[in-house]
Amino acid sequence: MNVEYIEPFVRAAYNVLELTIGSRPTKEQLSLRRNSFTTQQLTILAGVNGDVEGSAMYGMSQATAQKIAGAMIGTEVLEMDEMAISAVSELGNMITGNATTLLSQKGMSVDITPPSIIRGIDVEVSTRTPALVVPIMTDAGRIEINVAIAENQLKKAA
């Protein structure tokens, strides 16, 4: 695991969340997980491929997701309907897209997959590298960023 690959995801999350909800997040205690699994009620999953590959997951409670979706839509969200799911999915897309832009500025060629929403706790997501877990606190609630990104071994060998 290389922090150079993970830092852009944390930086992008801070920037996107600050723009989305209007306040600066604060970082909590980092940890490492051998296997990636969801620990929150709603998790946005985005894949990364290219010079580096893996996945980024952004987990949050339903209440936090509703507050973020409401900030993005511009109205209070009382349930995670199709519009609210689309909004938080776009949040994951924005964070991951910004992170890959930061990686490309370092000379890496990377693409992202469309984000998926996972509902439920303890859903295992297979990754070939351990995930660095970066919990952050926002005015909307706690968000857990899990980044399991490593250098693409096939590209490295070429």
Residue range 39-96, pLDDT digits in tens: 899 999 999 999 999 999 999 999 999 999 999 999 999 999 999 999 999 999 999 9
Count of beta carbons in the 10 Å neighbourhood of residue 151: 17
Count of beta carbons in the 10 Å neighbourhood of residue 99: 28
Q: Is residue 158 part of a domain?
A: no
Q: How many domains does the chain have?
A: 1
Q: Is residue 21 part of a domain?
A: yes
Instruction: Determine the Cα–Cα distance for residues 105 and 91; give it in Å rounded to an integer.
Output: 21
Q: Say if CB 138 and CB 48 are below 8 A apart.
A: no
Q: Is residue 156 part of a domain?
A: no
Q: Is residue 65 part of a domain?
A: yes
Q: Is residue 78 part of a domain?
A: yes
Range of the domain at 126: 3-151
Cα Rg for the chain, rounded, in angstroms?
Answer: 15
Q: Is residue 76 part of a domain?
A: yes
pTM of the model: 0.91
Give the orientation angle of helix 3-21 with respect to helix 62-73, to 10 degrees.
60
Q: Is residue 157 part of a domain?
A: no
In tens, the pLDDT along 100-142 reads: 999 999 999 999 999 999 999 888 888 888 889 999 999 999 9
Q: Say if CB 156 and CB 52 are below 8 A apart.
A: no
CATH number for the domain including 56? Answer: 3.40.1550.10
- DSSP of 2-22: -HHHHHHHHHHHHHHHHHHHS
Q: Is residue 88 part of a domain?
A: yes
